[in-house]
Structure 1
C-alpha cells in the first residue's frame, strides 16, 4: 500500500522536527498536530507540511483530524508529570486511543516512539507507562501495521540533555551529579529520524519493535566529561550515592523549572543500553557522539566565539 499522507503527533518538538523535515524532503504530505500552532512556526516554510492545532487527548478532535490520513507517527511523551498531564494519560491512554481511532478509520500504519528500558516491572512510572502504551498498541496488531522504536537518550542541536549540561558546566564551578554511574547509549537525532522515515513503507518492519542506540555506551559521568572536553572547560564532578541522588531530585521537584525528579532517578536505575545493534533493515549506521557533539556545542566555547568573530568580519 502506497502511503502519501502522514500525520505526526509531537512533530514540532526536538525529535519531531527532524522527522518532519525528512518526511517533507521525501515528498510526503505531512500534517503536524500541536497544542499551539505558534510553537511549530519553524515548520511553516516546509512546502509539504501543514500545522494544525489539536488537543490530541480529545478523542473526537483527534478522530476528526486523522480522517483521510494514510499513516500516523506518535512522538508525544513527557519526562515530568504535572497537573495537566500524567504519565498514564500521555504514555498509555493516548497510544491506546490513537490505535483505536486508526483501527476505526482504517488507517493501517502506525509508528510509536517508546523508550529503551520500558517494561511493565520497571522501577519508574515513566518506563512502566511507556510499556503499557506498547502493550495497548500490540493488542491491535491484527488491524494495524505497527512499528515501535525504543531509543536511548537522543542528542543533537536543540536537545534538552547535552545543551542543558553544557549550560550548567559553564555556570557552575562544581557539578553535583546524581546517579553518576548510570549508563546510556546516546543516539543522534538525525539517525533516529532516518529510522522512522526508512521504516514507514518497509513491510519488513511491520509488527516489529526496535531498540535505537548509538555505537558507544557511556556512564553519566563520562557523558559530562565528553561535553566538558568539547567546551574546553573542566569542572570537578561530585557523584552522589543513591540516597543523596533522591534527595537532590526531591529538592529539584520544587524548582520553577524541573530539571530532575525522583521518577527520573528511578528510570536511571535501568541502564539505557541496547542489547542489539541497529538492524540492517533500517539502513542506518549510527553516528558517534564524539563526531557530532562539536558541530553544535562548539559555539559555546572560546574557539567558537573566535570563529563567529572571524565570520562576522568576513575573514
Structure 2
C-alpha cells in the first residue's frame, strides 16, 4: 500500500464516498477539511492508519501544501451552495481551486480531479456558476492534465436536497418551490465517487465530464416522487421568479445585517441558479465514457427517506397488516354471501 491520495473536502458529502472507494482500492487516504475532529468516521473506511482526517484551510497556501506533500493524486471536492463570512464563492470555488491545483502541480502529483457542477459558465446568471467556471479554468491552467467532474444535483443518504424537502413535507401541508419547471438529472453520490475513482486510477482521459442520472425530471416531478416514497401528501406550489428574487434579496439583506448570524432558507444567487436547467449536455463526456451505468433515484430514495414516513420504518409493515385485515374482511363477507359460516 504505497499510493497516497489527498481529498480536499474529504469529510464532506461527496468526499467521504471517494475516500471509502480509494481505501477499498488499497490507497492511503488523507481526508482534508476544516474540522477533522468532527469526522472520525472516515478512519473506519480502511485498516488502522490507512484513512486519516487532517486539517486544511483551502484559503491558505501553507495549509494546502502541508496536506498535498507526497500525494500521488489530488481530488478537490470543495464547494458551497451559499456564502458565509469568509467562505465565499470566490475564495473557495475560484481562488481555492486555483490554489489546490497550482500546489498539486508544484508538489508533483500525477493526477488531479476537480469536482465542479453542471451549469458552470463564466457568463452564468449566478455567482455560483461563474465561480465554478473560473475555478475550472484556473485548474486547467495550473494542471493541464486535470479531469473535471460536473455532476447534476447529487442525492444520497446525507444529501441536502431530498432530505430537506422531505423534512418540510413532514411538517407542512404545502411545498413552495422556486423553479418548479426547471429540469434536473439527479445523480447518486456513489456513482460520482465511482467516476472520481476511475479518474484517480488513470482510467479516464483528461477533460470535462458531465454526470447525470438515467432520468431527467422537473423539480415538481422530483418532489412528487419524494412524496410518494415518504407516503405523504402536500400541495406543491411554484413561487414566481419575481417574488422568489425579492425573497432571496430580503434574506441576503437579513444575513448581512446580522453579520451572518441569521441565515435565510434561500439566497438571491440560489434563485438565479434554480432558473437554469441542470442536465447533461448533448456533446459532453459522460458516465458512458467511464464505463459506469448510473443509478436511478427510485433504487435509492426508499433506503434513506423512510424515516420521514408517518410510521417511519414500520410504514410498510403497517400497510401490509392493513391489507391483510382488509383481505380477511372481504373474504369473510364473501363467505357469508355464499352461504358458508
| Equivalent position of 1:260 in the other structure | 266
Q: What TM-score results when the alignment is normalised by the length of structure 1?
A: 0.91
Counterparts of 2:207 and 2:168 in 1: how far apart (Å)? 39
Counterparts of 2:251 and 2:162 in 1: how far apart (Å)? 19
Q: Does 1:300 align with 2:302?
A: no
Q: Does 1:192 align with 2:192?
A: yes
- Deviation (angstroms), 1:100: 1.4
Match of 1:86 among 75, 85, 88: 88
- Deviation (angstroms), 1:303: 5.0
- Deviation (angstroms), 1:252: 4.0
Counterparts of 1:287 and 1:252 in 2: how far apart (Å)? 36
| Equivalent position of 2:281 in the other structure | 275
Q: Does 1:123 align with 2:125?
A: yes
- Deviation (angstroms), 1:307: 6.2
Equivalences for 1:1-315 in 2 at 5 Å? 4-46=3-45, 47=47, 48-142=50-144, 145-202=145-202, 205-253=204-252, 254=254, 256-276=262-282, 278-302=286-310, 304-306=312-314
CA contact (8 A) 1:198 1:283 kept: no
- Deviation (angstroms), 1:273: 0.7
CA contact (8 A) 1:3 1:70 kept: no
Q: CA RMSD in A?
A: 2.0
SS in 1 for 2:201: coil
- Deviation (angstroms), 1:62: 1.3
- Deviation (angstroms), 1:34: 1.3
Q: Give structure 2 stretches of 5+ with no counterpart.
A: 256-261, 319-341
Counterparts of 1:250 and 1:216 in 2: how far apart (Å)? 33
Counterparts of 1:95 and 1:134 in 2: how far apart (Å)? 8
- Deviation (angstroms), 1:262: 0.7
Counterparts of 1:49 and 1:241 in 2: how far apart (Å)? 47
- Deviation (angstroms), 1:212: 0.4
Counterparts of 1:120 and 1:139 in 2: how far apart (Å)? 15
- Deviation (angstroms), 1:95: 1.3
Q: Which runs of 4+ in 1 moved over 6 A?
A: 307-310
Aligned length: 306
Of structures 1 and 2, the larger Rg is shown by 2
SS in 2 for 1:163: helix
- Deviation (angstroms), 1:251: 4.1
Q: What TM-score results when the alignment is normalised by the length of structure 2?
A: 0.85
CA contact (8 A) 2:244 2:271 kept: yes
CA contact (8 A) 2:309 2:315 kept: no
CA offsets 1:34-92 (integer angstroms, 9 cap, x no match): 11122212212232201111222110121122111101000000111121111111011
Counterparts of 2:289 and 2:249 in 1: how far apart (Å)? 43
| Equivalent position of 1:313 in the other structure | none
Q: Give structure 1 stretches of 5+ with no counterpart.
A: 311-315
